Amino acid sequence: MELLDFSSAERCEEYERFVQNHASGSFTQSLSWCGVKSGWKHEAVVVRDGGGNIAGSMLVLIKTLPGLNISFLYSPRGPVCNFHDREVLSGLTEGMEALAHRYHAFLFKCDPFIPASDEEGIRGMAEMGCILQPDPEEKAIQCRCNYQLSIAGKTADEVYQSFQPKWRYNIRLAERKGVVCRYYDKDMLGDKLDDFFPLMEETGSRDGFNIRSKEYFYTLLDNLGSHCRLYLCYYENQAISGSVTVQYAGKTCYVYGASSTSCRCVMPNYLMQWNMIQWAIENGDQIYDFQGIPHYSDEAHPNYGVYRFKRGFNGQVVEYAGEFDRVFSPLLKKGTDRLYQVYQDLERRKNRMAHNSTR
């Protein structure tokens, strides 16, 4: 086991190649993510095989609680490894414990790409001391269920023809009505966040959730560079929908989406999704990931419409195991859980008030 030497360009490039080419890699395990999460400290654990090659890794974000000499460790979508390889998991455990000691951590949390059906992988995490949490979905940092479209080895026409007929019709309708979808990366961005952010504010107010700041989206696009694009749909020279999409480790991920209530009849979101899927196909990706579908099995839930929209693109539901916790101080965790619950209750109350004010 070793902790990554961030001052070594060679070591950092080696780490990045490993994560980007691994089946369980994620942009949140990329070193670029450290720049996005600038309010956190960061470390990375590396485990090598007998030939000296990286066999497992784990980017860990560290949040030190204000005024206290204790920390919370979080590995977003980590570790990156074969979860059936006990030797690699043992090395990652050693690294996790070393970081917990260094930063006086009371808790380590991770949410790796382990399928819910992978009992062996879940047992491997348990051997690391990381216990799968039974918390309800709304309390999880990352959604447990994603909707994914397999595009490996398929042409754009094959993928398009697999969509439900109504979805293909809506894509063509948007084009006939004159909706134009454009993308902007870091070097092309200009002032386009000024078009996107009001859509994000409208969506957050309409659907009752807090949103990131405009500066956050700039930081995301700036740090992820060519891996990240802002997509915008225009109708009669007005931005009516937008998204932030990330391409990394064989997947293109629809990360943030926003739209105006007006002009929905010209179907911009269908055209925008098709443009993003085409980007994934052009890059030779394996997966287009529509991301979270919370409460997708409950037709009465307000979020069911999210699943219904994504389902028309003919993908499949992928369920991950969820969050794993390694508790180093049960007493401190209990106290911070109570504080977090108070914070969540306040946020939900603010969301309800914002939502009610827009009715």
Average pLDDT, the chain: 91
* Core vs surface per residue 263-284: b (16+ CB within 10 A) or e: beebbbbbbbbbbbbbbbbeee
Say which residues have a Cβ less than 8 Å from residue 117's Cβ, sequence separation at least 6: 319
Q: What is the pLDDT of residues 192-234, one digit of tens each?
A: 999 999 999 999 888 878 889 999 999 999 999 999 999 999 9
Domain topology for 152-285: Aminopeptidase (3.40.630)
Measured CA to CA, the distance from residue 253 to residue 283 in angstroms comes to 13
CB 251 within 8 A of CB 288: yes
Burial class (CB in 10 A: 0-12, 13-18, 19+), 289: buried
Measured CA to CA, the distance from residue 114 to residue 87 in angstroms comes to 18
What CATH number belongs to 2-142+320-357? 3.40.630.30
Q: What is the pLDDT of residues 68-116, one digit of tens each?
A: 788 999 999 999 999 999 999 999 999 999 999 999 999 999 999 999 9
Q: Looking at the predicted structure, is the pLDDT value of residue 326 above 70?
A: yes
Say which residues have a Cβ less than 8 Å from residue 66's Cβ, sequence separation at least 6: none
Q: How, if at all, do strands 131-132 and 2-3 pair?
A: unpaired
Mean pLDDT of 335-345: 55
Q: The whole model's pTM is what?
A: 0.90
At 138, list the tokens: 């709304």
pLDDT bin (cut points 50, 70, 90) of residue 359 is very low
pLDDT bin (cut points 50, 70, 90) of residue 340 is low
User: Could you tell me where in the chain the CATH 3.40.630.30 domains are found?
Assistant: 2-142+320-357, 152-285
Q: Looking at the predicted structure, is the pLDDT value of residue 302 above 90?
A: no
Q: Looking at the predicted structure, is the pLDDT value of residue 16 above 60?
A: yes
Overall size of the chain counted in residues: 359
Q: Looking at the predicted structure, is the pLDDT value of residue 353 above 50?
A: no
